[in-house]
Structure 1
């Protein structure tokens, strides 16, 4: 087992253990909402995909046919994971903009072509033997399977552009909501709402993470040194699955450590409105 695989397994298991106590507090012991299901999806789908990636990366020896099947499962799992992460961003923006149905429909309308693009990329780049194949490598000390690409990096670069543009669109909407919120709070001489700041920070971090992931996937076609390739693969196989669930937990943790008024509404996620509302003996914060 190479060092990158070992580090991947250790990091994922460590994250699983360290995060579990907060998960019990903020997920299993509270009423479930839409965000609860999305969190569980990215949490445990991420662990599954990361473990499949570790197995394919050298944790166990497997023949070529099995290696190819595991590779396809891993790549399709990555796509499903990133689609769920995009849905989380859409749901957060829906909260930031006071549950605007128009905005929700617009975001979902633009998101459907992104889902179709993910499917097309997985079929064109990963699922065709003419595009990628497995080959068994035999050395004096080890025998393993590795992937060989039969097409250049440009299809991956071109197909990544719409996804990146969509992420930029989501990030701009989040930053605009933050700017509007800060302006309103400044006029009222009030501190910014902690949840708005945390949610916008989440969007920006995710945008940077997804941009890095797309760049790394594109340059994997180049003939890079083995050490650099292993570092890139370790980042792609670990960082998204750790950061995305952790950011969701951080929002719930911010809510738990802050004093605000909870209203019983149909939107049960711990997110506060961007527009302050007058409340008796309370700062204008309302969590929903």
Structure 2
């Protein structure tokens, strides 16, 4: 049922949705700009290379992330799609991170099993929460002063559950970062006196650099979402103030950047580094290094 009203008391709601739409447009424009800047690299390092699991994950994360940013809450169907798309894209991002860590730990079965178990536990919890959210939320269509809106209604328990999900996901990201830093420092120490250590050390530096930048976005977005969900001030004004919409909008932008920009760069950065090695050094073609695809040890070549 669609509710039509010209009551001025609805104007704060209209203004809140208008501010939210500005952030949605800003996020999508930023992602489109980054896509335009890196499309040449994508064609060279992804489309023209041998297809693998990482190729598929790169393309899905890249373009589903852009679609995630473009979806606005115009209807209940879009809200549900937006919610589940976030669960799926984050799961794919974690598969990428697990693959990187498995390679950095030289194919260790123990670390792989540990990461898969924690990954499944967190993602099963996220999936259950997503189902609960869908069951306890509802959408209402409004035409307020000539403006079409879809208002999503949910309880405070759902807000708390959503915050717990973000906190648990952030803890998993912290665990992954600690594992990456630990093995990188260990390798730096071991390779200090090896002649070929400089090349491998540079590869680890690229892995850590891209991971740290990605992690910074994760922490920033998680903090903003938790502030939005748990702040008494924001809950009191029901998200209608400029402060509330600014926090929520910035969190949306950071999440979109994490998905569609920094996530794909976890793959693109390593492939670009290997491509430069092949172009700049004849010795690089025979070097056994950390390759960012399904297998751990492969020769650096155009198939990376």
Relative to the length of structure 2, the TM-score reads: 0.75
- 1:70 corresponds to which of 49, 60, 78: 78
- Once the 2 structures are TM-superposed, how far is the Cα of residue 238 of structure 1 from its aligned partner? 4.1
Which residue is 1:95 aligned to?
103
Question: Structure 1 unaligned runs (5+)?
Answer: 275-284
Over residues 138-190 of structure 1, what are the superposed CA-to-partner deviations in whole Å (9 max), with x where a residue is unaligned? Answer: 44352322323312432223333332222222111100111111112223375
Which residue is 2:169 aligned to?
163
Which residue is 1:147 aligned to?
152
| 1:212 partnered with 2:231 | no
- Structure with the larger RCO, 1 or 2 (CA within 8 Å, 6+ apart): 2
Give distance in 1, aligned partners of 2:161 and 2:116.
Answer: 25
Relative distance call for 1:122 and 1:17 in structure 2 (3 A) is same
User: For 1:1-288, what aligned pairs fall within 5 Å after superposition?
Assistant: 2-51=21-70, 53=71, 56-57=72-73, 62=74, 67-124=75-132, 126-128=133-135, 130=136, 132-140=137-145, 142-152=147-157, 153-188=159-194, 190-191=197-198, 193-221=201-229, 222-223=234-235, 224=239, 225-226=241-242, 227-228=245-246, 229-258=248-277, 259=281, 261-263=284-286, 269=292, 287=300
Q: Would you tell me which structure has more helix in proportion to its own residues?
A: 2
Relative distance call for 1:263 and 1:109 in structure 2 (3 A) is farther
Question: Structure 2 unaligned runs (5+)?
Answer: 1-17
- Once the 2 structures are TM-superposed, how far is the Cα of residue 209 of structure 1 from its aligned partner? 2.3
Give distance in 2, aligned partners of 1:235 and 1:134.
Answer: 26
Give distance in 2, aligned partners of 1:195 and 1:247.
Answer: 12
- Once the 2 structures are TM-superposed, how far is the Cα of residue 32 of structure 1 from its aligned partner? 2.0
- Segments of 4+ in structure 1 off by > 6 A? 270-274
- Once the 2 structures are TM-superposed, how far is the Cα of residue 14 of structure 1 from its aligned partner? 1.9
Relative distance call for 1:218 and 1:17 in structure 2 (3 A) is same
Give distance in 2, aligned partners of 1:150 and 1:271.
Answer: 43
Given that 2:62 and 2:259 are in contact with CA atoms closer than 8 Å, whether structure 1 keeps it comes out as no
Over residues 43-77 of structure 1, what are the superposed CA-to-partner deviations in whole Å (9 max), with x where a residue is unaligned? Answer: 122122222x2xx24xxxx4xxxx11110110110
Given that 1:114 and 1:163 are in contact with CA atoms closer than 8 Å, whether structure 2 keeps it comes out as yes
| 3-state SS in 1 of match to 2:253 | helix
The range that moved more, 231-240 or 25-34, is: 231-240
Give distance in 2, aligned partners of 1:220 and 1:237.
Answer: 17
- Once the 2 structures are TM-superposed, how far is the Cα of residue 40 of structure 1 from its aligned partner? 1.6
